[in-house]
Amino acid sequence: MTRRSRRRRGPLAVAALLLTALALVLGTAPGSSAESGWWVPDARPVPDSRIDVSGEPFQGTGPDGKVRGFVDAHNHIMSNEAFGGRLICGRAFSEQGIADALKDCPEHYPDGSLAVFDFITKGGDGRHDPDGWPTFKDWPAHDSVTHQQNYYAWIERAWRGGQRVLVNDLVTNGVICSVYFFKDRGCDEMTSIRLQARKTYAMQAYIDGIYGGPGKGFFRIVTDSAQARQVIEQGRLAVVLGVETSEPFGCRQILDIPQCGKDDIDRGLDELHELGVRSMFLCHKFDNALCGVRFDSGTQGTAINVGQFLSTGTFWKTEKCTGPQRDNPIGLAAAPAAEKELPSGVKVPSYAADAQCNTRGLTELGEYALRGMMERKMMLEIDHMSVKAAGRAFDILEAASYPGVISSHSWMDMDWTERVYRLGGFVAQYMHGSERFSDEAERTDALREKYGVGYGYGSDMNGVGGWPGPRGADTPDPVRYPFRSADGGSVLDRQTTGERTWDINTDGAAHYGLIPDWLEDIRIVGGQGVVDDLFKGAESYLGTWGASERHRAGVNLAAGAAASASSSEWSLFTSYAPGRAVDGKAHTRWASGWSDSQWLRIDLGAPSLVARVTLEWERAYAKAYRVEVSSDGTNWRQVWSTTAGDGGLDTARFDGTTARHVRIQGLERGTTWGYSLYEVGVYGS
């Protein structure tokens, strides 16, 4: 393969005796046998996985004062605790050691015949060697989504290879849990989220114990960006808690009726924040009371649509898209194992090829939840939202100049990448194979250059997604072992756990410890520039987080101000007077007469700095209009205009200027009615 160029820089007594004897045969060195230092634990269990990295992890900041390192913006360390506890087999750690942690689910013994989920996701008959430690004959593997990939020592290897931020998304799905045959616990989603959070803190304590006591381990859960920077400057791994679940706070919807209210959302957000969660999805896989989802495709899409029905009582509904963005095409392929869960006589519907957008957007409760996240300085995960929901979320974020938006694993419309960057948000790409990952990185290279940002990856390990397969032992440009880390300070050899040694060239990305090997493969295939951008990812992610923490809601200069208009629609039952657009009430509005040339004028009461105007349109919106300002109310000058208005929530930004009066001048209606505004905001920044 030709190397691409880049124009920029670039885890019982007899058994214990046997395991101890085996450890003596296999060796126990985590890195190089003679290595010592703060980064090498002195109480690692015996036996355990090797790390196979030598060299001190880099500490401190770069010459420019910025942190360095890679960021995995989307991982699921504790998903073995989700979905009823028997979907993902094996654990990230165990006080009883690796043999207890890395063992298969009971029903997978003796030959995988009852590994139903493995059969559904991988094909074949699901049969496999269930033994993990010490042989690992069949798992973990890049194409097995049912086995633990996040063993703590494998995460340690990724850290030693240069990763400095890991987002652990607490994840589950109540419907999958309820329909899966095997489980050892209940299916309440929030109960699972709480358990996974506790287990993550327990894992931190476990690693601390190996490293000599509280605070000494490499795995540090952080709850603000300053703390994360301190951890990274110490050379350790900053772990951020996120949430990706289908019914957060119990906010499901049944036959379009919400099963939660604003009090539930407030309690839920407060609880998650107290647990340390700082980013989250509002919807995932199934439409809920907060928002509609971006569809799944293929056979998986059919299966998820069945789950949608079982969860909500309705299948996905589509409509023609109103803009260039599209949701994923719905999978129409048969999924017999899922479809047999439907009630008798109920079938998955077919869908028109030209109607690819979810009819469901961001609901009123969803908007309430988003604004609640903003108040708590949390970051919104935009992936999995339908185009309609994501578009409205962007409008709200832009109106408030709130930078806390993240696309963590390639599940939003890629045409919105610049919209994320313009807000100050962060983008990571799904952990595709090196060729595909490099091609996508190249496509968005100019945008990163324009906004001066780094890049991330979303491994989605333990996330039932599938990971890069091997490019093959005969590829002309393989990863050659040993190789140096991206910073040049560490040397990495093939990773060994028990009797199994993995090679990225022939095994693909089988577990989390092969993240550095995959990054080396990207360097070879895509060029140093891609790796350079990824190495700047930690700084960019923390930049988004820090800006969210520092964000302060602007003062609305128009609130309660005097307002006048060219006309106002008359009604016997309510008022559509100009002042209704600045009264701070979401459901009152100004409505004009039914002609193109109409205006709304706001007197701020005194000269003020004006730099941003927000307009919340009712269905009667302006297709073309301009924003004008004046010092005396007589002489006006234009500061912003559009001829492509589409309603909803608009934000007009312009160079700050001093003015007392602001006028919205309608030029062309978008409907046969007049113009109608729920609320107009005027801000100095």
pLDDT > 70: what percent of the chain?
94
Q: Is 367 left (phi over 0), alpha (psi -120 to 50) or beta?
A: alpha
- For residue 303 the two structure tokens come to 């299966």
| pLDDT at residue 333, rounded to an integer | 86
Residues ≥6 apart with Cβ < 8 Å to 654: 611, 612, 627, 639, 640
Domain 562-683: assigned CATH number: 2.60.120.260
Average pLDDT over residues 330-350: 89
Any idea which residue has 């290595």 for tokens? 35
Give every CB contact of residue 612 below 8 A, 6+ residues apart in sequence. Answer: 401, 554, 651, 652, 653, 654, 681, 682, 683, 684, 685
The CATH code for residues 70-292+360-550 is 3.20.20.140
pLDDT (tens digit, 9 = 90+) per residue, 160-213?
999 999 999 999 999 999 988 899 999 999 999 999 999 999 999 999 999 999
pLDDT recorded at residue 30: 45
CA 124 to chain centre: 31
Tell me how far apart the alpha carbons of residues 179 and 309 are, in angstroms, rounded to a whole number. Answer: 13
CB atoms within 10 A of CB 271: 15
Question: What is the per-residue pLDDT across 115-142, written as a single tens digit (0 to 9) for each?
Answer: 877 767 766 777 899 999 999 999 999 9
State the pTM of this model.
Answer: 0.92
Q: How far is CA 565 from CA 249, 608, 628, in A?
A: 43, 21, 14
List the structure tokens of 133.
Answer: 């430690």
The amino acid sitting at 1 is M
467-524 per-position pLDDT tens digit: 999 999 899 999 999 999 999 999 999 999 999 999 999 999 999 999 999 999 999 9
Distances (CA, A) of 427 to 151, 170, 414, 538, 636: 26, 20, 10, 11, 41
Residue 34, pLDDT score = 61
Strand partners, 495: 502
- How many CA atoms, within 13 angstroms, populate the side-chain half-sphere of residue 522? 33
Domain parsing of the chain, residue ranges: 70-292+360-550, 562-683
pLDDT digits (tens, 9 = 90+) for 410-442: 999 989 999 999 999 999 999 999 999 999 999
13, 187, 609, 656 from 613: Cα distances, Å: 72, 46, 12, 11
**386/288 Cα distance (integer angstroms):** 12
Strand 426-430 vs strand 405-407: parallel, antiparallel, or unpaired?
A: parallel
Q: What angle do CA 161, 166, 171 make, to 5 degrees?
A: 135
- DSSP assignment of 358-371: ES--B-HHHHHHHH
The string of pLDDT tens digits covering residues 223-259 is: 999 999 999 999 999 999 999 999 999 999 999 999 9
Q: Where are the alpha helices (DSSP H) in 138-291?
A: 152-160, 174-179, 189-211, 225-233, 262-275
Among residues 320, 253, 317, which one has the least CA distance to residue 290? 253
Q: What is the dihedral of CA 43, 45, 47, 50, to 10 degrees?
A: -70
DSSP secondary structure letter of residue 294: P
Give the residues across from 658 on adjacent strands. 609
d(CA 155, CA 468): 17
Cβ-contact 592, 653 below 8 angstroms: no
